Amino acid sequence: MEKVEFSEIESLGIDWDEIGLPVDPKEVILPANVNSISTKEDAIIIGQAIIENHWNNNRLLDHVLISVVHSTKDNIWFFEYSIDQRDKNVEELMECGGFYVAIDGNTGEIVKAWLDD
């Protein structure tokens, strides 16, 4: 697995009602034992498991976990998936959408999942 970017911020500032292409949370398969997220390492393991479950269902095969952002104010963990372009030169980059999942770190439940083009 390539290096996953990690950062902590006070607040994500996302208006959950304004998300344009929501994904049914039932389509996002979390590892069975997720009751909360409390560390960066746990978050990366969970984030990787989410995309691997999509690969196992022949979805988002060209996407990888790019970053994890922890919102400390509300304990929301934000996972970003996209086509892996981390080894590309700037002139080789292509515009592409992403897949995003937000999980409540206190409960381990999905707050929202969505696609962005």
How many structural domains are present in the chain? 1
0.75 surpassed by pTM: yes
Its domain, for residue 12, covers 5-116
Q: Indicate the average pLDDT of the chain.
A: 86
pLDDT of residue 15: 86
Sheet holding 76-83: strands in order across? Answer: 5-9, 63-71, 76-83, 98-104, 110-116, 21-22
Per-residue pLDDT, 100: 92
